[in-house]
Each structure stands twice: as structure tokens, then as C-alpha cells.
Amino acid sequence: MFAKQGDSRNKVNIKRLTVYAMFVAICLIIGYLENLLSITVLSGVPGAKLGLSNAMVLMLVYADDKKGAWGVNIARIVLSALLFGSPISFLFSLSGGLASLAVAHILSRLKSVSVIGASMASAVTHNVFQLLAATVFMGVSIAYYVPVLIVFGAVCGGVCGLFSQIVLNRTKSKNMFRF
Amino acid sequence: MKKGDIVVLGVIAAVFILSIVMLTSFSKNGSRVIVKQDNKVVYDQSITKNNTVDTGSNVVVIENKAVYMKQSNCKNQICVKSDKISKKGESIICLPNKVIVEIK
């Protein structure tokens, strides 16, 4: 909805819009590349990926823009399902994505947890909730897979957290997240 | 890394150990092999019986009390790369073809 000239009530914040659009676009591209360059072959764990698009969302959480983080997260999940996924993969990534962001949101309120810790916790949550979704929607128990996914979540989450930390430190002086 | 990060890592490690303990204490050798396609059971037999199940899209092989996915016409081939399964509760899933192999 674009505001008419002179109407200040519905004015769209152009910078906010641009940064969010950029983040969603980066998330989609990263997600697509991760699917192509799946680390399944490297690790022997089916379906494993790094989850760098989650790192983008965590950046917004730790730049203290929680609302933006939720918006970008939901937009990226819906769009990537429409572009590359199926209804089932949508349900999977929705349950994982919402739960992991909720955990990151809560942890980011604690002063003693940095983005690395929040990233690890949210990656583990993501993996566990995807398994739960598989159990609920497909009616099978794959509990057997939980330990592997916990280790993978911790490692990949740690890498993503480190990445977020570096980018946040470098953009701090540039006021990227000041709208 | 801050102090809270170590706590988070500790909690994750605890959950990991707990899940391993729970799984090893509950895991038993399976007795039946069930193959489902589109949530319909297409095969339900004892695991001791060597057999090959062809669902049209996937080929499941049951051999020496272990089950694996031999072939699939799906794109990602995750199910084919999965390890052999033999314990109760284990499963191989081919999401694109909606084929589920589980052991009960």
C-alpha cells in the first residue's frame, strides 16, 4: 500500500523495506545454493545442510529488530517453499523455522548469551522440530536420528553463529539496521 | 564466546547424551518390515524373510534381517544413500515419492 503524497501516516520506510527485501533475497539464494551443494555427500548424513539463511535471520535478531526477524523468516520460508519446495517441505521448514526463531528470540534477551550460543541452540531446535514434524505429518518415528541431528545442529549452528558475529561486528559502524 | 554460550553448549551436550542413553536402552532388533506408499501399507512381512519390494517408484531389499533402499527414481536419492536399517523404530523415507520403510 503506497501512501499518497502528503499523507504521512502510511509512509513506507524505504530503508527498512530495502534491507528486509535484501535479506529475504539473500536467504533464498543461500538456501538454493545449499540445496545444490548439499553436504550430504561429505558427511554421510542425509538432508544435512549448513543453514546459513538462519544466520541472516539471527543477525536481525541480534541487531535488535525482532519484528523484522520474524517477518524475514516467515517470508523466506513461504517464498522458498513456493519456488523450490512442496507442501510437505513447507510444513517441515515452517515448524523448524518458527521454533528455532522462538528459541533465538528468547536467548537473545539474555545478556550473557552471544549470537553464537543462540545460533547453536536454534539450529538444534530446528533439527529436532523437523523430526517432530516428520513424525506428526508422516506418521513415522525417526527418533533414531535425533543424536546425529543434535551434533549436526550444534556444529552447523556454531559456524553460522560465528558468521553472524563477524558480519554484525563489521556492519555495526555503518548503521545498517537503524531505520 | 560468552559465559552463556558455554551453558547453551552444556545443555545441548546433556540432551545429546540423554537421547543416546534413551535410544540404546530402548532399541531392540525389529521383527516386521512395513513399506508404505502415500500412507497406504503395500508390504508387511517378517524381517527374517528375504525379499525385494518394488513399489513402482522405489525398490526395497530385505536381506539377512536388514533392509535398504536399492533404487529410487527420485531426484535427491537421499533414501538410496541411507544406511541399512535393522532395529525396531528405524526407517528409511523417500520424501519425493512418499515412500516410507519402517521396522516394527
> What pLDDT band is residue B12 in, cutting at 50, 70 and 90?
very high
Task: Say whether pLDDT at A35 is over 90.
Answer: no
d(CA A79, CA B78): 24
B75: Cβ contacts below 8 Å, ≥ 6 apart:
B96
What mean pLDDT, rounded, does chain A reach? 84
Task: Say whether pLDDT at A8 is over 60.
Answer: no
Predicted pLDDT of residue A2: 52
What DSSP line would sit under B20-61, residue for residue? HHHHHHH--B--EEEEEETTEEEEEEETTS-EEEE-SSEEEE
Residue A23's region, left for phi above 0, alpha for psi from -120 to 50, else beta, is alpha
**Does A88 sit within 8 Å of B12, measured CB to CB?**
no
Predicted pLDDT of residue A3: 47
- CA-based nearest distance B71→chain A, Å: 16
Mutate to test the interface with B, among A131, A146, A164 (most CBs of B within 10 A): A146
Domain ranges of chain B: 1-28, 32-103
> What pLDDT band is residue A107 in, cutting at 50, 70 and 90?
very high
> What pLDDT band is residue A164 in, cutting at 50, 70 and 90?
very high
Mutate to test the interface with B, among A42, A136, A144 (most CBs of B within 10 A): A144
Domains detected in chain A: 14-174 (1.10.1760.20)
Tell me how long chain A is: 179
**Does A150 sit within 8 Å of B16, measured CB to CB?**
yes
Nearest Cα residue in chain B from A39: B78
B10: Cβ contacts below 8 Å, ≥ 6 apart:
none
Q: At what angle do helices A52-62 and A115-138 cross, to 10 degrees?
A: 130
Considering only CB atoms, which chain B residues are within 8 Å of A142?
A: 90-91, 93
Task: Say whether pLDDT at B54 is over 80.
Answer: yes
Cell numbers for A29: 539464494
Identify the CATH number of the domain defined by range B32-103. Answer: 2.60.320.10
Predicted pLDDT of residue A45: 62
**Does B27 sit within 8 Å of A110, measured CB to CB?**
no
Query: Cell 550473557 identifies what position?
Result: A112
Any CB–CB contact under 8 A between A83 and chain B?
no
Considering only CB atoms, which chain A residues are within 8 Å of B3?
A: 112
What DSSP line would sit under A1-55, residue for residue? -PPPTT--TT---HHHHHHHHHHHHHHHHHHHHHHHT-THHHH--TT----HHHH
Query: Residues A16, A21, A106, A167: what is their CA dihedral angle, to the nearest 10 degrees?
Result: -90
**Does B12 sit within 8 Å of A121, measured CB to CB?**
yes
Nearest Cα residue in chain B from A103: B8
- CA-based nearest distance A105→chain B, Å: 14
Predicted pLDDT of residue A64: 86
Nearest Cα residue in chain A from B101: A140
Of B81, B82, B93, the CB nearest to A138: B93
Predicted pLDDT of residue A42: 57
Contact B38, B98 (CB under 8 A): yes
Task: Say whether pLDDT at A44 is over 70.
Answer: no
Task: Say whether pLDDT at A9 is over 70.
Answer: no
